[in-house]
Amino acid sequence: MREHKKESFPGYMTRAVEIFSRQAPGQHILDLPAGSGKLTKALRAQGHIVTPADINGHAEDFVYADMTCRLPFNDETFDGVVCLEGVEHVLNPFLLIGELLRVSKIGGKVIVSTPNIMNMYSRLQFLFTGTFYQFHPAQLHDYEPHEAVDRFHISPMSYHRLRYLGDYFGAQVAEVHADKAKKAWLAPVYAGLNLLGKPWARALFFNRNYEKYRHRNEQIYGHINSRALLTGRSLVLVYEKVKATTPITINTPGTSHTANKAA
């Protein structure tokens, strides 16, 4: 973790704390990756039972859990799961999202945050540079495949992809939040560009050929045009698990992983 961030409590953590403050004390919550334990401490202060997990062994009660592999927990163990700024660091986000939902109970909340590549600033960056906000390749180090290291931001995750994976693994998007706005002083530019693109966007989402999906498409359109998603620096997406999951096998060269599919 960068030195200037070790003592900070960023907005995406604040959102997670606010969401679980609505729940009765005593919820069993998985915090992965737990980092230095700041979120774990805040959730415990609310009266929740928190299992911190990471590969760093920060404290004695930390469980060793590698986000690139099957998690060391049984199915439907936790009332809630939090994965903040983690999914973009792994080669296989598909596996990770499946695991986060596997270990959550039906009805449980799974909170995932990731740099928001769909905010207006990121769209402008992509237009002019071909790179997403927080995902330009010049900042990456070259590592060998066998090295067990944090490869940093290698998997940009859009709202659309997160939503699809959640649905695949038996969850629905319950809420969409963000932390502070990125380059808020550009708000007039953002508003103008969004207004300019609305006719095109509505033509895509509300084409009569997709009428049977209208309710779903209305929700997607509302989320991606919300202030949170248009301006937020990090996307904070809340899943609610609605179905059990069953294992599926993913084979990659030299490895075999198990993920889960909605039953």
Q: Does residue 61 lie within any of the structural domains?
A: yes
What's the domain range around 135?
3-244
Three-state DSSP at 65 gives coil
Q: What is the pLDDT of residue 207?
A: 93
Average pLDDT, the chain: 92
Q: What CATH number corresponds to the domain at position 17?
A: 3.40.50.150
Q: Does residue 218 lie within any of the structural domains?
A: yes
Quick one: average pLDDT of 38-50? 98
Q: Does residue 257 lie within any of the structural domains?
A: no
Domain tally for the chain? 1
| Tens-place pLDDT, residues 146-177 | 888 889 999 999 999 999 999 999 999 999 99
Is residue 40 pLDDT above 70, yes or no?
yes
138: left (phi over 0), alpha (psi -120 to 50) or beta: alpha
| Tens-place pLDDT, residues 237-254 | 999 999 987 666 655 444
Q: Does residue 33 lie within any of the structural domains?
A: yes
Q: Does residue 40 lie within any of the structural domains?
A: yes
pLDDT confidence bin for 3, thresholds 50/70/90? very low
Q: Does residue 52 lie within any of the structural domains?
A: yes
Q: Does residue 216 lie within any of the structural domains?
A: yes
Q: Does residue 254 lie within any of the structural domains?
A: no
φ and ψ at residue 73, rounded to 5 degrees: -135, 150
User: What is the rounded CA–CA span in Å between residue 241 and residue 174?
Assistant: 9
Is residue 1 pLDDT above 60, yes or no?
no
